[in-house]
Structure 1
Amino acid sequence: MQDGERPGRERAGQLADAVRGLVGQDHDVVLVAGPPGFGTSTFLEGIATGCRAAGWRVVTASGSLAHRSMPYSTIIDLLRDLVGTAPSASAKLTDGIPDLHWLIGGPRPGANPLPAEPGLERARLADAVRQVLLRAAGTGRVLVVIDDAQDADEVSLEILRYALADRHGARVACVLGLRADPGTPPPSVIADLGAWVTRLRTGLRIDLSPLTRSEVAAQLAGILGGPPPDGVTTLAHSLSGGSPGLVRLLVDELLRSGVLERRTGVWLLGPVDDLTVPPDAEPLLAAMLAGVDEAARCAFQLLSAADGELPTAALCRACCRGSGLEAAVQVLADRGLVREDLRPEGHVVRGTVPLLVRLIAQAQGPQRLQELRDAIKEASRPNAKAPGPAGARSTPCEGWPSSELQAFELLRLGVDEALAARSWREAVTLAEASIRRAAALGASEELAGLHEARARGLDAGGHRTDAVAAWRASVTATPLDDVARRADRLRRLAELEWTEGLFAAAGGSIEEAAALLEGQEDAVGPVRDAVTLTRGLFAGRAPLPSPQQLQAVADLDGLWRRTGSPAAGVVRLIVASDAASRDGRFDQMLDLARQACRLAEGSNDLRLVGQAAVALETTQVVAMDVAARTAIAASIASAAQAGLQSLEADHRALAAFLQVNVGDIAGGLTHADAILTIGSRLGSRAVLTKGFLVRGLIHAYVGNVGLAVACRDEFLGCYDSESATLLHLNVGAGELAAHIALRQGRLGDVLTALHPEGAPRRGHWFHASMLAGSAHFRLSDADALAAQVGVLRGLPEPLPWVDAVVDRLEGLRATLVGDRGAAAELFRASSVRLDELGLALAAAFVWLEWAELGLAGKLDAEASALVEGVAAELARMGAQEAAERGRRLLRGPRRTAESPTRTGELTDRELDVARLVAEGLSNPEIAERLFVSTRTVTTHLTHIYRRLGLSGRTALAHHLHTQGTSEPHAS
């Protein structure tokens, strides 16, 4: 990257993934595609820089308009960069390959010239290229980078594909940059290339999207060498449309004009009255509109006259092209240059790249701009006529012809037929076309139903995130006086938001629906019942009761008593079971969940049966009933067979929890991977979040902190910043945060994450109690441990695991007050109880605490034999960190900092540094933890990398995980 540019968080993640995949040999071919100005070349430079840092040799070439008509030109440039200009280097790589030696500038061979047949010539040259790549890779991995592949000659691309297709294990990879124009079909060779990368097992395609505001700020910080003023970030983001190229050119223009200047070490932005389009940006902006038809250009002229935004109907009326303009707007939307937004007053079209709008306005001239504004003003009148046959572009035209209305009716009929036939893809496509046509016709009364049809199609097709937005559009387009339909659509929106993990948004939607129905009992009875059912379910699962929640549950109870419907009864029992769990009435919790299952089974409603089954399994997990695994496995198979994939993911999450607790860590991770697969298939953020959360909890529980942190970041990355503020997961997120904080020594954060009133809520009772106890112990807070014991002892219906946790907590407290004998006995009792419950992993952890804390690490022969068996069992389970704790106990006192470890590679101080790196700490954080300087940490890391033959922090974390070396600490 040039001039200190830094990519934004999302793009940085894509870049890091690409480099990591290439270095780890997960990917051999990477295709990076993006519209003009979206930073494809910069992204390729970042990949090349990352691979060079890993010791790769990088060779580059770039397509151009001149290359298109010159066969072999791109491959010649590539080979010349590969073999170099020195005669000795050229001869070494091309020795015995006369075709290549001659092609890149060497003497023409006297014999065996290139054959006259074009096909044979190409085949021989392709084989020659493959041979030289194999030779170059003999001394280290080679990365071939070709930018602007859309302008490379076809022959070179075919030769490159052949050379990469069969490399016999050669360490050669390729990265291709492609300027993709969504509005224009790519050349056949480029389409084939993209399809080939997609099919390739080791292929990766990255489609660059516009930068977010935070990403623009990150890029500006790289360009300016420090934090940019907020005004610069706002200006650059709003004018560039998220194009990195335009951001760079805008900053150059601000610096050139003196509006942006540095004073006393701080960047200051002066007044920006009328910023003109930078001349250097004009070619880039013109490329964005290259190849569009006259109707699209007309649309942009009208948008430029209206400062970049117009109602869709007015835009179509202002232009004589009518439905042709509608198609043109779709082309521009595909290119990302315009966007249609739904407002309460109707659809509007707005330009997404304001600089392009300004450029078009500058090109019109004052007189033409005034003509366009007059046309817009006329078209915006309430009784303005719609366009008809071709005429003067600036004059409103006659009304819509009957053929346009007939076409619209046919589209509407097609949507209904596609939904009836369960052809979801066709329904969505036709609904989108109908929405555009309705907006152009000004048929606003049709929009709500069309958005609903699109939402139903998207939901049924698995595109849950898009379906949420479509339901919101349907609600917005529904008139306020149509109370029943608006309330029902709000209810459907709320149910989908809840499914997607947007609990706060779901609560807001269902409360709005309930408020709409106040005083409307007679007119909207069935809708009111459905809203009551949904509202009661949401309220019953909230973390703490409130007056509104209590009222919602009371309404639900009234609905069940009035109608006796199975759905109302099941939901009522589930809500009651949740309430019993919160109060510690566990026997009652289990009984109510079983009643819900029995009632649901009589309804013959598969979704209701599945919902009740998940509720029962959740109570069984709360009770730590490992025998429930068999029933959960049957539920997984049943949900998969019925095609209820979201329910299958719920069952798998619960199964993973029990699998890990009985010691089957690999089985738990298998369930997590299956959940991620389901989430990808459904396009569901909530299911993906669940998968990353389950993986993260497993890794955190067994001590793989680096992997747990990565899962946490993926978990948070499933939501954009707006959605993340609405996210409130009931179980698990707080526990994951607490595990990571405990491993990193942030003890106060552990307790904050587990607080029952916090957001996110604390996790499972069992693990939350274990984690909080460990935090209190490390804080030497014996009183807090005693209070925790009192809470657990006071549960109205304690479960068997409660006694085991209480014994452990009292053992920690005994350790704090110096009573080692009592501590050892309590830890032993806790371990025995956990073993009896089948909770093998937790039992093994407490056995280690028995040895480390209760026995103060002083093991006799019997204790040594027990610890040896526990360490072996932990290693078999996959809990390598805990297993190493046991092995260290058996080895006795720690070695000195100067003596080598059992691996003969690192000193103990270097191991301390390595373990903290694996926990995700930065060098300054490690220095603070170890009371050394940052430079000392850097020196240790240099020695570690050299001795272990590793290339970076990720490789080091993986090495420690697989080798099983770790520092002992309490669970």
Structure 2
Amino acid sequence: MVGDVAADRPESCRPLVLALEPALDVDDVVGDDHSWHVVPLVRRWVRCSAGDSFTRGGHLRACWIVLRTGSGDITRSRDASRAHVAADLRLWTPAPAWRTLEAEGDVVTPSAHGLVGREAELAVAAAEVGRLGEGRAAVLAIEGEAGIGKTRLVQSFVDDARSRGMAVFCAGAHPFERTRPFAVAAAALGLSPRSPDPRRAGVGALLAGTSSGTSGFVDDIQYRVVEEIVDLVETACAERPVLLVAEDLHWADTASLLTILSVTRQLPFAPLLTVVTARPSPLRGEVVRLLDDLSAGGGRSVRLRPLTSDEVATLATHVLGVPPGPRLTAMLIKAGGNPLWVTAMLRSLADEGMLRRTGDRMDVTSSELPASLSELVARRLLDLPRPTLDLLQITAVLGDAVSLREVAAVARMAPAAVAGQLREAYDAQLLDEVDERVVFRHQLVHDAIYQHVPAPERRLLHREAAVALMATGADRLDVAGHLVLGAERGDEEAAGWLREAAREASGQSPLVTVELLRRAEALLPAGHSDADLVSTEVVQALVRAGSVGEASARAEAVLARQHAPEVDIPLRVALVGALALQNRADELITVVEASLGAPDLLGPAEQVLMLAQQSWALTYSGGPRAGESAAARALAVAEQANDAAMSVWGQTALLVAVGRQGRFQEALDHARRAAALAASSPDTRSLPLQPKLFLGLALFDCDRVVEARAAFRAALDDEFGSAWWLSATLMADAQALFAVGEWDDAVPGLLAGGHAAQEKGNPLLLSQSLAYRAVVATAKGEHRAARELADGLTEVLESEELSYNAGVLAFAAAGLEAAEGNRQKAFDLLLRSWRFDAARDSRYYQRCLAPDLVRLALALGHREVAAEVADGVAAGAVLAPEVPTVRSTALRCRGLVDGDVQPLLEAVALARSTPLLVEHAGACEDAASLLAKGGMRDDAATLLGEALARYEQAGADAWAARVRAGLRAIGAHPGARGSRDRPAEGWDSLTATERAVSLLVAEGLTNGAVARRMYISPHTVNTHLRHVFAKLGVPNRVALAAVVHHSNE
């Protein structure tokens, strides 16, 4: 090109060539993300011989810039690859990062130098991307003020990852998009109904509400979408390493924040680098929580600091081509080390003709300078024609990246006319075009222009934008953001649109629903006929979003004043649900009784729902008989109305009430009927109860463990059940594994169940996870780990009022105390829990409390307590004679109190008929103790050997050691360790489940697919993989596949 330019020019008019390689991003020069083209910096540095400045350059997207010397008028031409500026010119200063060359010389390739002052951060970026090849996940959070270089640093990740052939999923949040659930996640992964990928199209259809597979219940769609996204990312990771980028979390919607957390938590062993960026403050609470959670999970954090004065000077030199002079250096210090502000200042100075070359430096001719970047942008707006400025403001109101057709719709102009009028904004380097969208060159530019619009005018523009977008058929959730910002009190149309948008968002993001309904409520004029109805919708949304405290307070406030009759019952139903989730049983019972006092106002369904909630409140607060009565009333109302779904509610309430009283077979009968009704009815109102889960629990209480686990697996298979009852189902299945002694599989399940319970805000299930894991650690002799776990139970066990699951917590804590020699403390823990339950007619935890309590009572000389417990267990056995371990426990306690070995031998026979470890081995130990005292050492040794085999198979080393000591005490030889004694490392060290997981992972299945195949959760799969990697000494799934292949040869 250079030769062509110079060919027809005389020697005196040789061209001066300023060349920019096409591969060099402008960001490499200016040090921030897509902020300013460098070309405008040139235009004030080039002057005509007459002294007139060439003040307006074209919208230069040039790869070559050629400045010709010689005579002629100033001309401009646009070209995709070049721009020519011909005139009688002389060069005032070199262009950024280039050298001035004669035409005959070679064109110089620009420096590959990138960001200034970010060497350490770039090293982190390179290291993290490099480690992706090791197959382990990592998380990096980059924080920094606007313009500090976050996006440019992220771009280095992206460029490096792409150069290595990695998959890159990248998107950023945008202003005004918080009402769009999954906006960031959908943009990053291309989730759209129009996607050519069937899976992405399917998720896009879910988000668009066009999928035929949605159940219609809140939280279900959100759960499904999150799980689908996790699986999509993991599938991509199976093909090659993945870089997942989510920028500007300070604007992100809550569903996308949940997705980011879920991806990082569920894929710790995938070759995945997750990078997020955010401004440091102010941050919304949910963003702060996400960053804290990422850090707690091992994520790294990088806080981009301002550039030092030396680095600012380096950046200026890089931009100007020569070092800054002393006055310019002092002026640039005012930028506070923000590279965007530095480069913007240089541009402004150049545009105003305030830069002068003095020797080998560049300095300023004036000290005048805008006080901020916003002021600088505002000054640039003064140069724009009014029509262009108006369109630019409309564009800013629509967002920082918008469709030209949207701008045209709001401006009521043809798209071509809009494009023409925005040309000046492109020329001024305020706008750019990316993927057919109009984007601002930097978010600070967008912010400055948006804030430049007076607040009243902004509100009006948002409202007009909403009207225009409505007319084009835009999505309600897209319009909702503008209504939230633009509508004013009394705008009934806006309130109606927001309510419709809230209904659309309810399945995708309950928190967005709350935000939209709050705004709709605020828009209604005082005394509006729909005010109470909207208030009720807010309460219902708060319950679904988990804000149950606020929901109950708002419901109580509305009910306490005069309100529309039609909202009374929906409010009461919502209030009862909120109180139940807060365990405020007494208040719940009062509300239900008051509501049932006017039965004519309640339909059958509402009566059943309230009676069922009252039943559970009574049962769990110490009145299971009263709870049974309420449940029976609920069932009668449902059956009289011939309402199958409500009959499921009545049956479920009944099974809980009678089960807590120890009538386990009766509870199982109710559970079977509830499950059958739910399976045969298309009515989904029973789904929130998950009948299959309750059937499994009732089966387990009757010692039918195999059937119980099948029911739990069926519950996990149910899409809806996994969304609402995941933590409870995981915990129930893990407890079943614990009960039968499959502890290697139980512990991962307990961890997964506890994790899910923590996510769902269920402290009761979380405490049960701690309790069972503490029992396992104690049995293994790992007392330090057991103590750490048991410490998490202390507050509950020492509280004035025990929780209804205190029995199992006391069993765990007492077991550790006894193992450490603190028998009195163990006794006190067990006795308090026993009497707490006895006073409330609850027998649910008798089987885990009674044997240890009787044994300790006798050892400590409290025979009356031992007799009290034995009598109580005997009374319970009368209520459930069909359940082997209920009868076995009663016989054990009676035999220990009476010193009679015969009941103990009967107890062993009954426990032996079940697969339950603690009950079977414990009965053997108790019977062996009395046999040994009676001189029947051979029989005692036989039973101790039976207990030893069970303990060794489970890995209960400390309990096994106790039995071995007992054998030695009666002169028996314990023999060699059982089959449990396997190596600690290598393929042979894996459990059966760990091997199964390894084989499926080696086949290329994702965690989700493995979980579905094995009827466990992805969290459980992760826990198994963590153990497998440690035992095999492999770092990732690829290495695991190699070991599996080698082991199967």
* TM-score scaled by length of structure 1: 0.51
SS at match of 1:755: helix
Match of 2:633, as an amino acid?
Answer: Q
Q: What CA distance in whole angstroms lies between the structure 1 residues aligned with 2:937 and 2:1035?
A: 41
Does the Cα contact within 8 Å between 2:675 and 2:691 map onto a contact in 1?
yes
Name the CA shift for 1:783/1:868 in 2 (closer, same or farther; >3 Å). closer
Partner of 2:244: 208
SS at match of 2:560: coil
Pairwise mapping of residues 827-906 of structure 1 onto structure 2 (< 5 A)? 840=914, 844-852=917-925, 855=928, 860-866=937-943, 880-881=954-955, 889=963, 892=967
Match of 1:470, as an amino acid?
Answer: T
Q: CA deviation at 1:531?
A: 1.4
Work out whether 1:250 is the aligned partner of 2:291. no
- Count of residues paired in the alignment: 647
Does the Cα contact within 8 Å between 1:801 and 1:837 map onto a contact in 2?
no
Pairwise mapping of residues 8-47 of structure 1 onto structure 2 (< 5 A)? 44-47=129-132
SS at match of 1:845: helix
Q: CA deviation at 1:665?
A: 4.7
Q: Which has the larger radius of gyration?
A: 2
SS at match of 2:561: coil
Name the CA shift for 1:906/1:914 in 2 (closer, same or farther; >3 Å). same
Partner of 1:456: 503
Partner of 1:609: 647
Work out whether 1:555 is the aligned partner of 2:594. yes
Q: What CA distance in whole angstroms lies between the structure 2 residues aligned with 1:828 and 1:306?
A: 95
Q: What CA distance in whole angstroms lies between the structure 1 residues aligned with 2:643 and 2:528?
A: 29
Q: CA deviation at 1:47?
A: 3.9
Q: CA deviation at 1:487?
A: 4.6
Q: What CA distance in whole angstroms lies between the structure 2 residues aligned with 1:233 and 1:736?
A: 37
Does the Cα contact within 8 Å between 2:615 and 2:630 map onto a contact in 1?
yes
Does the Cα contact within 8 Å between 2:908 and 2:920 map onto a contact in 1?
no
Q: What CA distance in whole angstroms lies between the structure 2 residues aligned with 1:710 and 1:753?
A: 25
Gaps of 5+ in 2: 1-120, 139-156, 173-185, 202-230, 251-256, 265-277, 313-332, 345-372, 380-386, 407-428, 434-438, 778-784, 864-892, 995-1026, 1039-1049
Q: What CA distance in whole angstroms lies between the structure 2 residues aligned with 1:703 and 1:255?
A: 66
SS at match of 1:594: helix
* TM-score scaled by length of structure 2: 0.48
Name the CA shift for 1:949/1:475 in 2 (closer, same or farther; >3 Å). closer
Name the CA shift for 1:848/1:764 in 2 (closer, same or farther; >3 Å). same
Deviations, residues 770-793 of structure 1 (Å, cap 9, x unaligned): 445535644312651674386168
Deviations, residues 706-745 of structure 1 (Å, cap 9, x unaligned): 766655654565589xx87xx355x533222222234343
Pairwise mapping of residues 309-708 of structure 1 onto structure 2 (< 5 A)? 319=391, 322=394, 326=398, 329=401, 376-377=451-452, 379-381=454-456, 386=461, 405=467, 408=470, 411=473, 430-436=475-481, 438=483, 442=487, 445-459=492-506, 462-463=507-508, 466-479=509-522, 481=526, 485=530, 487-495=532-540, 498=543, 502=546, 505-521=547-563, 524-539=564-579, 543=583, 551-560=590-599, 563=601, 565-582=603-620, 584-605=622-643, 607-624=645-662, 625-626=664-665, 628-629=667-668, 631-636=670-675, 638-640=677-679, 642=682, 644=684, 647=687, 650-663=690-703, 665=705, 667-678=707-718, 684=723, 686-699=724-737, 701=739
Name the CA shift for 1:756/1:666 in 2 (closer, same or farther; >3 Å). farther
Name the CA shift for 1:497/1:658 in 2 (closer, same or farther; >3 Å). farther
Match of 2:835 among 785, 791, 798: 791
Q: What CA distance in whole angstroms lies between the structure 2 residues aligned with 1:789 and 1:400?
A: 64
Q: CA deviation at 1:512?
A: 1.1
Match of 2:398, as an amino acid?
Answer: E
Deviations, residues 175-212 of structure 1 (Å, cap 9, x unaligned): 64555687699899x97799799599896596735488
Deviations, residues 280-306 of structure 1 (Å, cap 9, x unaligned): 9999xxxxxxxxxxxxxxxxx999969
Match of 1:48 among 130, 133, 136: 133
Q: What CA distance in whole angstroms lies between the structure 2 residues aligned with 1:148 and 1:447?
A: 47
Match of 1:740, as an amino acid?
Answer: R
Name the CA shift for 1:204/1:633 in 2 (closer, same or farther; >3 Å). farther
Q: What CA distance in whole angstroms lies between the structure 2 residues aligned with 1:632 and 1:694?
A: 15
Name the CA shift for 1:671/1:719 in 2 (closer, same or farther; >3 Å). same
SS at match of 1:652: helix
Q: What CA distance in whole angstroms lies between the structure 2 residues aligned with 1:249 and 1:838?
A: 61
Q: What CA distance in whole angstroms lies between the structure 1 residues aligned with 2:698 and 2:713?
A: 16
Does the Cα contact within 8 Å between 1:752 and 1:758 map onto a contact in 2?
no
Q: CA deviation at 1:515?
A: 0.9
Q: What CA distance in whole angstroms lies between the structure 1 residues aligned with 2:401 and 2:984?
A: 66
Q: CA deviation at 1:488?
A: 4.0
Q: What CA distance in whole angstroms lies between the structure 2 residues aligned with 1:947 and 1:901?
A: 24
Gaps of 5+ in 1: 1-35, 54-144, 158-174, 220-231, 259-271, 284-300, 308-314, 335-355, 388-398, 412-428, 919-943, 956-971
Q: Which stretch shifts more, 901-910 or 702-711?
A: 901-910
Deviations, residues 814-864 of structure 1 (Å, cap 9, x unaligned): 24569998479599868967987999455x413422444664596844445
Name the CA shift for 1:801/1:374 in 2 (closer, same or farther; >3 Å). closer
Does the Cα contact within 8 Å between 1:236 and 1:247 map onto a contact in 2?
no
SS at match of 1:208: strand
Q: CA deviation at 1:527?
A: 0.8
SS at match of 1:520: coil
Work out whether 1:811 is the aligned partner of 2:885. no
Q: What CA distance in whole angstroms lies between the structure 1 residues aligned with 2:191 and 2:578?
A: 52
Does the Cα contact within 8 Å between 2:928 and 2:939 map onto a contact in 1?
no
Deviations, residues 118-166 of structure 1 (Å, cap 9, x unaligned): xxxxxxxxxxxxxxxxxxxxxxxxxxx99867678xxxx9xxxxxxxxx
Deviations, residues 908-955 of structure 1 (Å, cap 9, x unaligned): 999xx999xx9xxxxxxxxxxxxxxxxxxxxxxxxx999976559999
Q: What CA distance in whole angstroms lies between the structure 1 residues aligned with 2:378 and 2:598?
A: 53
Q: What CA distance in whole angstroms lies between the structure 2 residues aligned with 1:763 and 1:795?
A: 12
Q: What CA distance in whole angstroms lies between the structure 2 residues aligned with 1:193 and 1:149?
A: 26
Does the Cα contact within 8 Å between 2:307 and 2:339 map onto a contact in 1?
yes
Deviations, residues 755-775 of structure 1 (Å, cap 9, x unaligned): 39599x745466356445535
Q: What CA distance in whole angstroms lies between the structure 2 residues aligned with 1:410 and 1:946?
A: 55
Name the CA shift for 1:489/1:798 in 2 (closer, same or farther; >3 Å). same
Match of 1:791, as an amino acid?
Answer: R
Deviations, residues 537-575 of structure 1 (Å, cap 9, x unaligned): 5446754556x5565344324343x53532443244334
Name the CA shift for 1:660/1:856 in 2 (closer, same or farther; >3 Å). same
Does the Cα contact within 8 Å between 1:693 and 1:732 map onto a contact in 2?
yes
Partner of 1:7: none
Match of 1:532, as an amino acid?
Answer: R
Does the Cα contact within 8 Å between 1:810 and 1:823 map onto a contact in 2?
yes
Match of 2:791 among 738, 749, 755: 749
Q: What CA distance in whole angstroms lies between the structure 1 residues aligned with 2:461 and 2:695?
A: 60
Q: What CA distance in whole angstroms lies between the structure 1 residues aligned with 2:964 and 2:1037?
A: 29
Q: CA deviation at 1:597?
A: 1.6
Does the Cα contact within 8 Å between 2:693 and 2:712 map onto a contact in 1?
yes
Identity percentage of aligned residues = 12
Name the CA shift for 1:234/1:204 in 2 (closer, same or farther; >3 Å). same
Deviations, residues 402-427 of structure 1 (Å, cap 9, x unaligned): xx84762574xxxxxxxxxxxxxxxx
Work out whether 1:277 is the aligned partner of 2:338. yes
Does the Cα contact within 8 Å between 1:660 and 1:668 map onto a contact in 2?
yes
Partner of 1:420: none
Q: CA deviation at 1:809?
A: 1.7
